[in-house]
Chain A
Amino acid sequence: MKVSKWSERLFGTPLFEPLVAFSYIFPLLYLIVFLIVPVLSMLLIAFTYDGNISLHWFKSILMNSYYIQIPPRGEFAQKLTTSTGESLYLIRGLDFGVVLNSLVVAALVTLFTAILGTVFAFVMARYNFKGKNLFRIALFIPLLVTPFVNAYVIKQMFSEFGLINYIFHEVLHILPFRIKIDGLAGVVLAQSMAYYPIVYLNAYASFINIDPTLEEQAENLGSRGFHLFRTVTFPLALPGIAAGATLVFIFSLEDLAAPIVFHGDPLAKKLMSYQIFSKFIYGLGERSPEIAALSIIMLTLAIIAFLGIRKYVSLRQYAMLSKGGRWKPRISDPKPWQALLIYLVLLPALLITIFPQLGVIMLAFSERWTTTVLPQGFTIDYVKEMILNPDVRRFIVNSLTYSGAAVILIVLLSITSSYATSRFKGVLSPILESIVILPIAVPGIVVAMGYFYFFSAVTPENSPLNPTSLYGFNPALVLILAYSIRRLPFAARSVYAGLQQVHMSLEESSMNLGASRWKTITGILMPLISLNVFGGAMLSFVYSMSETSVGITLGSINMAQAPITAFMKEVLMSAAGSINIAAALGVLLIVVQITAIVVVNVITKQRYSFIGLT
């Protein structure tokens, strides 16, 4: 019977309880030690020059035309002639310098995905048309993550003799010339195609959640058509759309796969993510303050976007539940011109954006893919090799092990943190709440850099935990930690949502009847949220398997212990193996993801939930 003022302040309960304290302290400390401190250790390097605190490295970046180039250099598109004598437009984009290029690319990708995602979402939410269910399923396909090979297929599609030219130039004659997309334009294209379903899912949820009576009221007052959309529907859905778009902005900023795939064109290398990555790979062991400074710049941009959207969305939490009454969704049949738009514009766009995943599958089962429209020669050799060749299988085993271990940590972290933040209102609650979702805003390559500095500083020299070790670094621990941090928001959101659905009186009545807190958590709470925990765990497992940034940097220092993505990157960058094997691994990841989606769907009877920012 001891009342503690500080326990009340910090944890929101006047009776100090070790279990409650643990729920706060464990995730908080974990994230501080394995996210905040490593990232801060980079700050130290970036702000030091000649032993003094200085902005030198930031100045030198911002003054250097390699990083900031205004006006931009180069030609957006060049007219060339193919070997067959046809005219060919090569589209690469303009060079604004590394820092601005990253921003321009991210801004364009955000814009394109926002438009495409919103249009798809609106059509799916409001219209009934033939094939809608196929649309719905197809829209999930671009979400299947197959690092590198996906972008590789896109590059092939948009090459001189690729699928796009075949269809639109050779068959349909819509294009009077051939096009080829490379460089920064290629990166924008690949990212837009991969990320627009993120906006789609967020926007779709927003449209569905709009109280129909709000629109009916506006119609009743005389608003119709586009005016209704512009004045009521769109503003109400905007927070959701903006949240999705911001996520895309951050993903684009940190993406490495597309620049690596397009790195044959030097312009694609002029992106912050690629610059940090390549300095890391080629200058291993050095502490480059310039790169640390560049990482800080990238991190700052991502954090600004992240904080901006959280603030914006929280300001616009429209209470949308109607006060009783019917909730008849507003679904109508499209007018003829709308149907035309759906089948002539959206359908082709959808087909084009799902082609990369199909291409990966074809690639995995074919002998070669050079200058033909589609891969040639069916074979299962590569799939066989992936399974049978111990040199390849090793990567799968590594990834499974690391992801599995990370998921255990993630489950523990998301249960403790969600329990603390949903059940107690101490001053630490909002801090914990933000810090748990913060990993979304920290680019993977920044985590990798931070870990590199951090672990080489705090672990004994030449121990297997030290990335600069001469006797072989074992990345297992570092990768497990990185996965657990980077994928935590996926599971934490799911568990938190589960906890919010369990009324607190269910736990209170258990404790009131004499059960301890531990007994209440294990006997009452856990059974009630087990499906949310399971769903979150599956999601974070799946995305740990396909984690790229840390895997291809720290993870590839010692290939014996490297994960799948490190091997895929080797294939693409140094032709260490055949691209078909990388594609086979991509297929494996697709299978894992689809299995997870189906299992989560069947067991939890919930719709597969992708991640949002709020």
Chain B
Amino acid sequence: MVEVKLEGIVKTFGETVALKGIDLHIKHGELFTLLGPSGCGKSTTLRIIAGLDFPDEGHLYFDDEEVTYKSSSERGAVLVFQNYALWPHMSVYDNIAYGLKIRKFPKQEIEKRVKWVLELVKLQGYEDRYPTQLSGGQQQRVAIARALVVEPKLLLLDEPLSNLDAKLRLEMRSEIRRIQRELGITVLYVTHDQEEAMAISDRIAVMNIGQVEQVGTPKEIYEKPKTEFVASFMGKTNVIPAEVVERDGDKVTVEFENFRLDGLTYKENNDKVVLVIRPERISLHPIENAVAITGKVDLIEYYGFFIEVVGLFGEKRIIARTINDKDVAHLRPQGEVTFYIERNDVLVLPKQNL
């Protein structure tokens, strides 16, 4: 178990600035996730922590020891590669035993541990297979077993589930969570799938173009995004450009299209804003003290256990979500619809240039 600290990590590849100054603090025994779109620098951060790349600037600490330029082989931060990187000329057993042999464990101890870890990842009996004789999910479990068996201080997982089918993903996701809790190791997890991040993490850092936009628990990030980017990245949501037209201390009135919403909370100076409203927070039946806006029905989409109504408000489309069939029974395409929104469900954030 280890605590990881990154301070002002900058990394460039020729002209591209991959990381623009990353500060992170990952605590003992935490499952911490780096979440962000493709190319935002997640893998680069992970490789720097693993010691496979070195930053141009900044410092990296494991507990209180600076390890910025310690070689990968001495660092004990074991990475599970996105492509698994299993050695094709070695059997499952040899792949897993490799790290133990390097650490000069006695033969019996090696056998014992390999057996233990194979049970952990549910691959008993696969010792003598070669990587090419395994399915994608099995390969991935071997890769995780190979990392776990050396009991790393820190386990780094780079989109470990991205090559799996939906069902196996869910299974493996909870497996990883279970194993992490069981062994109590610090895990740094990389993904670009926000749902996966929410499900698995203790805390999440949302990254965008080489920067960390927000760090927090899944709940915080989902409910209290600090920036437009984070809000729009965390699942399907309404992001409505608007303008502040009146201010009274923290309270503002904003306008979009021809609609006005008053009594919203906003502390920044910038008048160009976005309104972030989660679809499930918009009601289709009247609520007391809520803002009501009326527009046209554009679309009604059935998703099974919930239904989405896309309303057209001027030029702007806003989505409302409900689990109640009755809410939509009276709606007709192109007919009128009223959305009811409680004021504290509307997040006003400064507009970003995304």
Contact = CB atoms under 8 A, between A and B. Distances in A.
A513 B150 contact: yes
Contact of B69 (A1, A515, A517, A519): A1
Nearest to B76: A514
Contact of B81 (A15, A509, A527): A509
Interface in A500-539: 503, 505-506, 508-517, 519, 523-524, 527-528
A513 B146 CA distance: 9
Contacts of B329: none
B85 interface: yes
Interface string B217-257: 00000000000000000000000000000000000000000
Bin chain A's interface residue count: 20 to 34
Interface string B162-182: 000000000000000000000
A2 interface: yes
> Most chain-B Cβ atoms within 10 A of its Cβ — which of A1, A506, A512?
A512
A329 interface: no
Given A512-B51, A514-B102, A505 B83 contact: yes
Contacts of A515: 73, 98-99, 102
A527 B89 contact: yes
A3 B73 contact: no
A519 B101 CA distance: 11
Given A512-B51, A513-B146, A528 B72 contact: no
Contacts of B147: 513
A516 B70 CA distance: 13
Contacts of A510: 87, 98
A577 interface: no
Given A503-B85, A505-B85, A512 B69 contact: no
Bin chain B's interface residue count: 20 to 34
Contacts of B79: 508-509, 512
A512 B50 CA distance: 7
Nearest to A14: B54
A511 to B, nearest CB: 5
A514 B73 CA distance: 4
B71 A513 contact: no
B54 A3 contact: yes
From DSSP, what is the main secondary structure of chain B's interface residues?
loop
B103 interface: yes
A514 B87 contact: no
Nearest to B103: A514
A15 B85 contact: no
B50 to A, nearest CB: 6
> Most chain-A Cβ atoms within 10 A of its Cβ — which of B51, B71, B150?
B71
Contacts of B103: 514
Nearest to A513: B99
A512 B102 contact: no
A516 B73 contact: yes
A513 B52 contact: no
B73 A512 contact: yes
B78 interface: yes
Given A14-B54, A14-B69, A513-B150, A506 B102 contact: no
Interface string A458-472: 000000000000000
B10 to A, nearest CB: 14
Contact of A528 (B51, B73, B89, B146): B89
B88 interface: yes
A15 B87 contact: no
B69 A513 contact: no
A506 B54 CA distance: 19
B85 A514 contact: no
Nearest to A505: B85
Contacts of B50: 512
A528 B98 CA distance: 16
From DSSP, what is the main secondary structure of chain A's interface residues?
helix
Contacts of B76: 514
Contacts of B75: 512
B52 A508 contact: yes
B89 A508 contact: no
Interface in B191-216: none
A15 B78 contact: no
Interface string A13-28: 0110000000000000
A14 B72 CA distance: 12
Interface string B142-163: 0000110010000000000000
Nearest to B79: A512
B212 to A, nearest CB: 24
B98 A512 contact: no
Contacts of A528: 87-89
A514 B103 CA distance: 8
A513 B175 CA distance: 22
A523 B97 CA distance: 13
Given A1-B70, A508-B52, A513 B83 contact: no
Interface in B61-79: 66-79
Contacts of B83: 503, 505
Given A505-B81, A513-B146, A514-B76, A15 B54 contact: yes
Contacts of A15: 54, 69, 71
A137 B89 CA distance: 33
Contacts of A511: 52, 71-73
> Most chain-A Cβ atoms within 10 A of its Cβ — which of B73, B76, B89?
B73
Interface string A533-552: 00000000000000000000
Nearest to A519: B102
Contacts of B88: 528
A489 to B, nearest CB: 28
A461 B17 CA distance: 60
Contacts of A508: 52, 72, 79, 81, 85
A528 B90 CA distance: 10
Contact of A514 (B54, B67, B70, B150): B150
A15 B69 CA distance: 7
A511 B98 CA distance: 11
B18 to A, nearest CB: 15
Nearest to A530: B89
B164 to A, nearest CB: 18
A519 B66 CA distance: 26
A527 B102 CA distance: 17
A505 B53 CA distance: 12
Interface in A83-126: none
A412 to B, nearest CB: 22
Interface string A471-513: 0000000000000000000000000000000010110111111
A505 B75 CA distance: 17
Nearest to B146: A513
Nearest to A2: B69
Contacts of A3: 54, 69
Nearest to B152: A513
A503 B75 CA distance: 22
A246 B77 CA distance: 51
Nearest to A528: B89
B47 to A, nearest CB: 8
B109 to A, nearest CB: 16
A76 to B, nearest CB: 57
A517 B70 CA distance: 14
Nearest to B99: A513
Contacts of B77: 512
Nearest to A523: B98
A3 B71 CA distance: 10
A3 B83 CA distance: 29
Q: Which 8 A-B pairs have the closest CB atoms?
A: A505-B85, A513-B99, A509-B85, A514-B102, A505-B81, A511-B73, A3-B69, A14-B54
Given A509-B79, A528-B87, 4 more contacts: A505-B83, A513-B98, A514-B73, A528-B88
30 contacts: A1-B68, A1-B69, A1-B70, A3-B69, A14-B69, A15-B71, A505-B85, A506-B87, A508-B52, A508-B79, A509-B81, A511-B71, A511-B72, A512-B50, A512-B72, A512-B78, A512-B79, A513-B73, A513-B78, A513-B99, A513-B147, A514-B103, A515-B73, A515-B98, A515-B102, A523-B98, A524-B87, A527-B89, A528-B87, A528-B89
